[in-house]
Structure formats: structure tokens, C-alpha cells
Amino acid sequence: MEFPGDLKYSKEHEWVRLEGDIAVIGITEFAQDELGDIVYVEQPKVGDKVSQNEQFGVVESVKTVSDLYSPVSGEVVEVNDDVTSSPEAINKDPYGAGWIIKVKTEDAAELDSLLSADDYKTMVGQ
């Protein structure tokens, strides 16, 4: 299982990659593996505000429905339409083509409260 070191992780199994002041957000390989085949993703709209640790969407798999929580606060500037039409992209490439939303961050210091790759790996028992 992969735990890229350049990402930060939430306890709810989301990852975030900061690109300037834009946070790219998705779910971890561990999360998609636990969920199984993802069949539906509900995302916010561009312009919506998200808050750290608050729900921003839903992912549905053949096994269950799971809420998505934002690891950072800010404004949604882009949603990944590819995962809307082909949600299996999250299963195939959770850290690449399977990203879910991009958020213009309000406070980069929020990233300090997230887990490192090593901390996340320990949390999930890998």
C-alpha cells in the first residue's frame, strides 16, 4: 500500500497536497481499498465553502456509503468531473487522477494539524 510522503493525511482518510495556496484533496489508497469498488461520488460545487473537518461530499461503494471530510478550510475552486462520470478512477489512482476537489486554502497552518505519511501509516496499522 502506498503512503506518499509529500501528502498530509486526515484521521478520516482524506489526503491533501498543497500546490501554492490550492489544496488538492482525495481519499487515501487505504480508504478506497476498505470501501471496495466506488460507484458514485457526490461533490460540492465550485464556489462552495468548506471547513476543516466538516463534511463536503459522499462516496458510495458496492459495500457502503461514506462521508467525505475536508482536511482544510476554503473555497472550492475545482471539482474533478472525471470521478463524477467514472468514480472507479479513485480505485485505480487515488493519489493522481482520482483526486476529488481543489480548495483555495484560507489558512495553510491548518495543515499542521494533519498527519504525516508515517503517522497515517501507523494509524491504519501498516
Per-residue pLDDT tens digits for 55-101: 999 999 998 999 999 999 999 999 999 999 999 999 999 999 999 99
Number of domains in the chain: 1
Q: Is residue 115 domain-resident?
A: no
pLDDT tens digits for range 25-44: 999 999 999 999 999 999 99
Query: How long, in residues, is the chain?
Result: 126
Q: pTM of the entire structure?
A: 0.96
Phi and psi torsions of 41, nearest 5°: -130, 130
Residue 95 lies inside a defined structural domain of this protein: yes
**What confidence category does residue 108 fall into, taking pLDDT thresholds of 50, 70 and 90?**
confident
Is 120 part of any domain? no
Q: What is the C-alpha to C-alpha distance for residues 16 and 23, in angstroms, rounded to an integer? A: 6
Asked if 105 contacts 73 with a C-beta cutoff of 8 angstroms, the reply is yes
Residue 83 lies in a domain: yes
What distance in Å separates the CA atoms of residue 126 and residue 120, rounded to the nearest whole number?
9
Tell whether 62 is covered by a domain.
yes
Q: What is the pLDDT of residue 126?
A: 80
Residue in 43, 47, 39 with CA at minimum distance from that of residue 90: 39
3-state secondary structure of 33: helix
